[in-house]
Amino acid sequence: MTAGTAQAGDPSRERQSETTPPVSSSIDVDVWRGDAVGQFVRYRVPRQSSQTVLDVVTWIQRNLDPTLAYRYACRVGMCGSCAMTVNGVARWTCRTHVDRVAARDRLELRPLANLPVVRDLVCDMREFFDKWAAARGRLAPTATRKDPVPRVAPGSRERRAADAAIECIGCGVCYASCDIVAWRPDYLGPAALNRAWTLVNDVRDGGNRERLAAIAGDAGCHACHSQANCTERCPKHLAPTASIAGLKRAVSRALLKGEL
Amino acid sequence: MNGAPGAAGASPGRIRAGHRARIDAALWLAQRVSAFVLAACVLVHLATIFYAVHGGLTAAAIIARIRGSVAWPAFYVVFIVAAAVHAPIGLRAIAAEWAGFRGHRADLATAFVAIALLALGLRAVWGLAG
């Protein structure tokens, strides 16, 4: 770690002096090194109280191996860029305390599953976001800037349905946790479908006919087995499973009305 | 769609994709509707089996009762149609996800399983009632 990078905001620095010492003095961390082909490399990292998994990765990169590649930005659960597979489970590393996940003082860190690995803990998110586009995940406006702003009642059914799903920050945890994505690589996945559901419920949007045609079918909402891995793992506690069920209902209605 | 990019799509690929989406959506709906029918039919079917076994009815006695009945064969025709709709769609999904078997040939195989189930089932009803 160079002097320039050890700023006041460094989480491992700040927390060091803060609280009581942890149970054991160090932790063994197996980190994936390589891309699709590679191996785990073990590092010994000092334990600190309130230490997050992201702190551990940062400590390794700054003290043991500066070539370790990983991705993060905000450190506080807002940006959605630090998700990795921690002891087999996709998580935000910045919001995961080592104490909560390190059984027997061991950690195993891999990149997110279901996405190509760029290097070490960094995966290529392109496919994930391309599927948002394929699911028509952007507003198709029906009004121009000259029209009055539409009024959406906060208590309306559509507004509440959109609210329940809107807080997604695109971290990819659900996508990496989804067995259907693993089985059907063309499956749009929970995040893209969840986004489509918010727009299906957006009264300002006029693109639903195209959107429902895009998300219907075996690569879309109908592939979902409602296993709810996504809902179980979503760090924002959203329920993409419920959104996908909503899409299935919407598609069925459109089909019966001859609008699909 | 107010001229958003990609909205103009009347390309053949888009139409084919729309057709595909309609078929998949219709199959999904058919499987759900047939599931409702099956749930009711299985309950009646199991209750009847328990009743028949408890009463000590023999196979010959059961056949004698069913022969000449209209309601029982009609019930089992509904049951068989529901099963013939429901099961192949599920098998198609399993074949796609676990064996990578999908597309046109998988659809043909699905139709074949449906027809086979329907034929075998109806033949059994015919054997009982006819």
Whichever domain contains A211, its CATH number is 1.10.1060.10
Please indicate, yes or no, whether residues A56 and A105 belong to a single structural domain of this protein. yes
Q: How far is B111 from B116, CA to CA, in rounded Å?
A: 9
Could you tell me if A260 lies within 8 Å of chain B, comparing CB atoms?
Answer: yes
Phi, psi for residue A29 in degrees, rounded to 5: -120, 120
Number of domains within chain A: 2
Q: Do A140 and B2 touch (CB under 8 A)?
A: yes
Asked if residue A12 is part of any domain, the answer here is no
| A130 and A90 fall within a common domain | no
CB contact (8 A) between residue A213 and residue B17 = yes
Instruction: Answer yes or no: is A171 within a domain.
Output: yes
Q: Do the chains contact at B29 and A210, CB–CB below 8 Å?
A: no
User: What part of A 223-242 touches B (C-beta under 8 Å)?
Assistant: 223
Do both A84 and A172 map to the same domain?
A: no
Q: Give, in order, the Cα–Cα distances in Å from A98 to each of A94, A113, A114, A218.
A: 10, 21, 24, 39
Instruction: Check if B96 contacts A (Cβ < 8 Å).
Output: yes
Closest Cα partner for A193 from A160, A154, A226?
A226
pLDDT of residue A20: 52
Q: Is the separation of the CB atoms in A31 and A43 below 8 Å?
A: yes
DSSP letters spanning chain A: --TTT--TT-HHHHHHTTSPPPSSSEEEEEEEEESSSEEEEEEEEE--TT-BHHHHHHHHHHHT-TT-----S-SSSSS---EEEETTEEEEGGG-BHHHH-GGGEEEEEPPTTS-EEETTEE--HHHHHHHHHTT-S--BSS-TTSPPPP--TTSHHHHHHHHHTT-----HHHHH-HHHHH-TT---HHHHHHHHHHHT-TTB--HHHHHHHH-STTTGGG-----HHHHH-TT---HHHHHHHHHHHHHHHHHTT--
Residue B32 has a pLDDT of 95
Q: Using CB atoms, which residue from A140, A213, A223 is nearest to B21? A: A213
Report the alpha-carbon angle A171-A173-A174, nearest 5.
Answer: 115
- Whether residues A161 and A111 share a domain: the answer is no
- Give the whole-angstrom CA distance, residue A152 versus residue A1: 51
Residues 17-56 of B with CB under 8 A from A: 17-18, 20-29
Of B1, B26, B27, the CB nearest to A206: B1
The answer to whether A141 faces chain B, any CB pair under 8 Å, is yes
CB contact at 8 A, A103 and A87: yes
First to last CA, chain B: 59
A130 and A163 inside one domain: yes
Neighbouring residues of B54: CB distance < 8 A, sequence distance ≥ 6 = none
Q: Are residues A91 and A199 in the same domain?
A: no
Question: pLDDT digit string (tens) for A6-56?
Answer: 444 444 444 444 455 556 799 999 999 999 999 999 999 999 999 999 999
CATH of residue A96: 3.10.20.30
| Nearest residue of chain B to residue A204 (CA atoms) | B1
Residues A151 and A39 in one domain: no
Which residues of chain A register pLDDT less than 50?
1-18
Do the bridges between strand A89-92 and strand A26-34 make them parallel or antiparallel, or are there none, so unpaired?
Answer: unpaired
CB contact under 8 A, B28 and A222: yes
ipTM score here?
Answer: 0.76
Retrieve residue A251's tokens. Answer: 């598609």
Torsion of the alpha carbons at B104, B109, B115 and B117, rounded to the nearest 10:
-150
CA distances from A245 to A70, A85, A216, B82 (A): 34, 27, 12, 23
Same domain, yes or no: A151 and A111: no
Q: What is the 3-state secondary structure (H, E, C) of A183-211?
A: HCCCCCCHHHHHHHHHHHCCCCECCHHHH
Domain end call among A123, A148, A182: A123
A41 and A135, same domain (yes or no): no
* Single residue among A123, A140, A170 that ends a domain in this structure: A123
- CA nearest to A89, candidates A199, A213, A233: A233
A2 within a domain of the structure (yes/no): no
In a domain, A10, yes or no: no
Domain check: are A74 and A130 in the same one? no
Number of C-beta neighbours around residue B112 at 10 A? 11
Does residue A119 lie in a domain region?
A: yes
Q: What is the pLDDT of residue B14?
A: 52
Q: Which domain holds residue A81?
A: 17-123
Quick one: A133 and A118 in the same domain? Answer: no
- Is A9 part of a structural domain of the chain? no
pLDDT score, position A15: 47
CB-nearest to A217 from B2, B7, B25 is B25
| Same-domain check for residues A135 and A113 | no
Contact A216 B4 (CB under 8 A): no
Mean pLDDT of residues grouped by 10 in chain B (130 residues)?
40 63 92 97 93 83 83 94 97 91 90 97 87
Angular region, A104: left φ>0, alpha ψ -120 to 50, beta rest: left
Q: In this predicted structure, what is the pLDDT of residue B16?
A: 65
pLDDT (0 to 100) of residue A197? 98
Domain boundary among A96, A123, A150: A123
Provide the whole-model pTM: 0.84
Contact B28 A248 (CB under 8 A): yes
Task: Tell me if chain B has a CB within 8 Å of the CB of A222.
Answer: yes
Q: Is residue A1 part of a domain?
A: no
User: What does the pLDDT read at residue B75?
Assistant: 94
Beta-sheet pairing, A106-110 with A26-34: parallel
